[in-house]
């Protein structure tokens, strides 16, 4: 970010607008909603500007602005239709150490004014750092449709009731009360002070009767990496969680969805590397839930797909902790979608087997003879360091050397890469491409490399018959 989003107090603030016409009107209109002292310099004021002056809402100076006028200002808007005048005002402002906004000149601005959704005192600001103001307006319309028009009334009522809610213990009990209050009050038809008072009193009595809040652990599939692939339910519980226990493959873009007050615990596990012991992860979950916390256990992909879900569930169930599972998009499904190919196809494979090439003890052994089947494709998870082992076992049991193999690194992420090879050559291709991220290997499936914004597509290796992989 080039701009830090902040809300500036306007009490006792002198804000100067220099310019005329619709540009200056727009800046004044926004400032007049605040507590700022607004001074407008305009030699040819519009009728609206004259009206504001006559109503005592702003001070109007029908002369050119001088450098001395800026000395007492905190904010300056250069809103003239003359670029030369705006440049001069910007220079004077910077010399006076006053923040300046220059209309349609993000490069000259100390601050920018975002698109605003006003539900006073609830205010939502939307900015694009001056690059796409029309887009900001479109987002504003979407947000406005989501927020009840009377949301501000409920927020002001909450401010008046805040002292009464101090009867509850600080932290989680109060936060849960306010969650219930806002959910109920924003949906009720009667928003009169008496009705809101009744809602608050009822809820406060209910929450006072609750002893220690019951903790809960929610297992959430974070998907393959793209935050847009999160389910709506997953996004909601992440935003509501008190504690986030996350795996190594869960990216920052997903963690950023959580409340800033949430507690984060990195439980990252890495194949053939240093990892948090499983017993310690389960202990963290039990400890946090026993304190009444809502704990989200964030797992990459789907929790039930090579995510050690059963081990953690067993420990929690034995301790009587309430649990919930929210599935996520597994990497194999996301890889197929990214490559624009299906996991199953008539005439190619009637089934697909999900497997990992290593387990807790190291290299994972399977019924390789069963896996060598012309009617079956393989989706191999965590196969980067065991690719040679996988290749050797399949070839040893009679797999066709020309079986297509698609490898995709960092599935669904912006830095994803992929290539199509064959069983006999994909290990060498992996070494050449130096894939270091999480890897999905699709055996028996030739993806369309270069589809769906693959940033660095690698040319296919060998000649493959698309849609068929022959016989293993």
Q: Strand 322-326: give its sheet, edge to edge.
A: 263-266, 243-246, 294-299, 216-221, 322-326
- The span from the CA of 179 to the CA of 181, in Å, is 5
Catalytic site residue from 69, 226, 242, 247: 247
How far is Cα of residue 227 from the mean position of the Cα atoms in its chain?
6
| C-alpha to C-alpha distance for 421 and 443, rounded to whole angstroms | 10
- As a whole number of angstroms, the distance between CA 449 and CA 407 comes to 10
Q: CA-CA distance, 22 to 438, in Å (whole number)? A: 53
Q: What share of the chain is helix, strand, coil (3-state, %, to 5)?
A: 35, 20, 45
With a CB cutoff of 8 Å and minimum separation 6, the contacts of 351 are: 344, 375, 376, 377
Backbone angles phi, psi at 297, to 5 degrees: -95, 100
| Cα separation, 3 vs 127, whole angstroms | 9
C-alpha–C-alpha distance, residues 362 and 358, integer Å: 5
**Beta-bridge partner residues of 441:** 380, 407
Helices (H) and strands (E) in the chain, counts: 15, 19
CB 40 within 8 A of CB 49: yes
Marked catalytic residue, from 27, 216, 269, 299: 269
Query: Nearest Cα to 140, choosing from 219, 30, 51?
Result: 30
Strand ranges (DSSP E) for 279-403? Answer: 294-299, 322-326, 351-356, 358-359, 362-363, 376-381
Torsion of CA 230, 231, 233, 236, to 10 degrees: 30
Strand pairing report for 404-409 and 417-422:
antiparallel
Instruction: Establish whether 242 is a catalytic residue.
Output: no
CA distance 410 to 435: 9
Is 269 one of the catalytic residues? yes
Q: What is the DSSP letter of 136?
A: H
DSSP string over 168-231: SPTTHHHHHHHHHHHHHHTT-S--SHHHHHHHHHHHHHHHHH--SPPPEEEEEE-BSS-GGGS-
CA nearest neighbour of 300 among 242, 386, 225, 231: 225
Q: From CA 16, how far away is CA 58, in angstroms rounded? A: 10
Query: Where in the sequence numbering do the catalytic residues fall?
Result: 247, 269
């Amino acid at each position: 970010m080039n701009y830090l989003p902040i809300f500036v107090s306007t009490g006792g603030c002198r804000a100067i607008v220099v310019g005329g016409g619709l540009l200056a009107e727009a800046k004044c209109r926004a400032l007049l909603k605040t507590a700022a002292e607004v001074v407008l310099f305009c030699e040819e004021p519009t009728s609206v500007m004259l009206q504001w002056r006559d109503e005592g809402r702003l001070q109007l100076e029908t002369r050119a602005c001088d450098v001395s006028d800026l000395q007492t200002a905190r904010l300056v808007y250069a809103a003239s239709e003359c670029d030369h005048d705006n440049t001069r005002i910007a220079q004077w402002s910077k010399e006076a150490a006053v923040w300046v906004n220059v209309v349609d000149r993000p490069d000259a601005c100390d601050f920018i004014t975002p698109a605003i959704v006003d539900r006073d005192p609830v205010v939502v600001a939307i900015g694009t750092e001056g690059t796409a103001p029309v887009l900001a307006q479109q987002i504003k319309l979407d947000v406005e449709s989501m927020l009840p028009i009377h949301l501000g009334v409920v927020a002001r009522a909450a401010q008046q009731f805040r002292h009464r809610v101090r009867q509850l213990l600080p932290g989680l009990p109060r936060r849960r009360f306010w969650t219930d209050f806002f959910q109920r009050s924003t949906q009720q038809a009667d928003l009169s002070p008496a009705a809101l008072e009744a809602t608050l009193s009822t809820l406060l009595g209910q929450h006072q009767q609750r002893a220690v809040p019951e903790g809960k652990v929610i297992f959430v599939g974070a998907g393959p990496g793209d935050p847009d692939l999160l389910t709506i339910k997953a996004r909601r519980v992440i935003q509501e969680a008190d504690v986030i226990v996350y795996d190594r493959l869960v990216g920052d873009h997903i963690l950023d969805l959580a409340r800033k007050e949430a507690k984060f615990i990195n439980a990252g596990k890495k194949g053939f590397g240093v990892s948090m012991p499983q017993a310690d992860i389960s202990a963290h979950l039990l400890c946090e839930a026993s304190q009444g916390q809502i704990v989200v256990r964030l797992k990459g992909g789907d929790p039930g797909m090579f995510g050690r879900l059963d081990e953690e569930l067993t420990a929690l169930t034995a301790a009587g902790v309430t649990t919930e599972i929210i599935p996520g998009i597994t990497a194999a499904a996301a890889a197929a979608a990214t490559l624009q190919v299906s996991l199953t196809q008539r005439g190619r494979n009637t089934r697909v087997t999900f497997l990992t090439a290593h387990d807790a003890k190291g290299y994972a052994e399977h019924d390789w003879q069963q896996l060598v089947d012309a009617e079956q494709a393989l989706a191999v998870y965590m196969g980067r360091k065991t690719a040679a082992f996988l290749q050797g076992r399949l070839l040893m049991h009679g797999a066709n050397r020309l079986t297509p193999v698609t490898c995709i690194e960092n599935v669904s992420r912006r830095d994803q890469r992929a290539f199509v090879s064959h069983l006999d050559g994909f290990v060498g291709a992996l070494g050449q491409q130096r894939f270091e991220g999480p890897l999905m290997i699709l055996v028996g499936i030739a993806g369309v490399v270069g589809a769906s914004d693959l940033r660095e597509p690698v040319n296919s290796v060998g000649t493959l018959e698309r849609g068929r992989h022959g016989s293993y």
